[in-house]
Amino acid sequence: MDSVLNSASAQLASQIENHLHNIYCSFEAEEVTQLVSDLISIMRLGSVEQLPTPYKNHWSQQDIIMITYGDSLHRADERAMNTLHHFLNEQCDGVISGVHVLPFFPYSSDDGFAVSDYYQVRESVGEWQDIQRLSSEYRLMSDLVINHGSGESLWFDNFVKGEGVGHDYYFTASPDDDLSEVVRPRTSPLLREVETADGLKHVWCTFSHDQVDFDFRNTAVLKEFVQIFRFYLDQGVNIFRLDAVAFLWKEAGSRCLNLDQTHEVVRLFRTLIEYACPNAMIITETNIPSRENLSYFGNANEAHCVYNFSLPPLLLHALITGQNFYLKQWMMSMPPAQDGTSFFNFIASHDGIGLRPVEGILPDSEVDLMIETMQNFGGHVSWRALDDGAKKPYEINIALFEALQGTTDGKDNWGEARFLCAHRIMLALEGIPGIYLHSLLGTLNDHERVEMTGQFRSINRHQWDYTALEALLTDEASHHYRVFSGLKDLIAIRIQQKAFHPNATQFTLHLGEQLFGFWRQSIDRTQNIFCLNNISAEPASLSLSDLNLISTQDWSDLLSGQHYEDLQGAILLAPYQSVWLSNTIG
């Protein structure tokens, strides 16, 4: 046994050493050896019992993640996290397996993404015991806001004073540095002047001036975040969302995006958590063009999951235009995720509908058409700065239910059908589904919150009174009831199908512009599901003979229950109707 332990521990030390050599190329061997020892100690990996199993899928078709803020639901005299827990148990029993609680830490801006204390739970949300209780029943995903921290934190105060923890945590640069190639997601100036005890400094702010970037060239920063990983694991977190990680490493004269050191840091984190907790996962949040996003899979040695960022804008475009050309072209170009990795599919989130992920996929004219349509439906547009100082649309801010209330021709009566069609497509695709709370509830645009905060993203960050919400969810006349019931019914069907395993085979079908379809086959090849979707406001017909169904098998629609005996006949799909045509399996 001792030899096994020694072998596993030796391999862990060797892996960490290789990562560190690639990150800190100029370090002497003694420095790397000491850092290896420090990281092993912080993660409490002094005696490793076994090697992680490579290429292991930590998920199945039964995994559905709900995305929410910890305080999106409120009930009098109850901590918000407990209200959320009650909602999950009372309203979502059997359909939600995990929950992504967006930053629940003290913060100074950006609704939680300017963290001022990584080791505390925000008082308005709850306490660590609430987090632990939730994680005992659901897979818990937490953000690790790793690129930047609050400009109003103790760490930053110490930076200004030049002493104490955090005094050397932040990235500084000179206005004279070559910053012309730096990729920006915002229009604010990159550098912020700060008067410190050591004189005037210019801190690096990829996002806002209250979100100051960390300096991972300093190994104290690396060790601090490894300590945070360990602390969150102890609280029950086992899925880590690395927020804005693509910007983590900076070098003057470069794009400061997706640099080699950034990828190596992600690989290091994966190694550490796989040894510390074999079922823990890393998911990278990289709102960038599709090919760059896919690079964070590495060779199944970086992120376990990547956000499928191109899906929301492409699916939205298909449903408001009634044409699937660009969605289908993108689908055909997507490589299958190898074992040990998976796509994280979503079509709405706390942020907007990102437009960078469709660069090179959707022509500018189609993006402009989509923006105009969303503005007509009450949405807003956020911008980013280009190298030449010009601006380009970065994301559309709108509640998804409102975004799908019409087409490019204007609003119509097919909004609910179109909205459910979007989710039937998302739930059937290769990958793990993530459903935003406000999509699950059919929440509308919150214009009052936008006015209150001055932030366009607030349009899709409504806070519900839970008692009022409960009444709506039992009122059959309410669209909230119909949406919630419809989505729960869909999920209940989805989680029973082996062909919907996140890594099951997927092929895109060619059924014309009006019908968007794909085929899924279970890993054991016993179940086949043809996912057929009419993405237009007009009826559509499909000949079953075009699908080449095996005539010796029984075929039926999982959604309607209709059985198909004449495999030479036709299926007539109403506007925005979907069919999950499956063979019978034992």
* 134 residue type, one letter: L
The answer to whether 350 is annotated as binding is yes
How far, in Å, CA of 559 to CA of 551, rounded? 21
Say if residues 579 and 557 touch (Cβ distance below 8 Å).
yes
The answer to whether 457 is annotated as binding is yes
Q: Which residues are catalytic?
A: 243
**3-state helix vs strand vs coil in the chain, percent to 5:** 35, 20, 45
The answer to whether 148 is annotated as binding is yes
How far, in Å, CA of 463 to CA of 449, rounded? 9
Q: Return the number of other C-beta atoms located less than 10 Å from residue 512's C-beta.
A: 14
How far, in Å, CA of 8 to CA of 53, rounded? 12
The answer to whether 93 is annotated as binding is no
DSSP secondary structure, 320-339, as one string: HHT--HHHHHHHHHPPPPPT
What is the CA angle 532-535-539, rounded to 5?
Answer: 85
What 8-state DSSP symbol labels residue 220?
H
How far, in Å, CA of 225 to CA of 232, rounded? 10
DSSP secondary structure, 9-33, as one string: HHHHHHHHHHHHHHHSTT--HHHHH
The answer to whether 186 is annotated as binding is no
Q: Nearest to residue 560, comparing CAs of 575, 545, 576, 577?
A: 577
Tokens standing for 41? Answer: 């100690």
Handedness of CA 356, 360, 365, 367 (dihedral sign): negative
The answer to whether 79 is annotated as binding is no
Say if residues 156 and 203 touch (Cβ distance below 8 Å).
no
Place of tokens 């699916």: 315
Output the CA torsion 311→316→321→322 (10° steps).
Answer: 70
How far, in Å, CA of 265 to CA of 22, rounded? 9
DSSP secondary structure, 365-382, as one string: HHHHHHHHHHHHTT-EEE
Q: What backbone phi and psi angles, to 5 degrees, belong to 267?
A: -65, -40
How far, in Å, CA of 340 to CA of 53, rounded? 9
Tokens standing for 462? Answer: 């409504």
How far, in Å, CA of 575 to CA of 143, rounded? 38
Q: Nearest to residue 185, comparing CAs of 475, 394, 442, 460?
A: 394
Bind-site residues for substrate:
110, 148, 241-243, 350-351, 457
Bind-site residues:
110, 148, 241-243, 350-351, 457
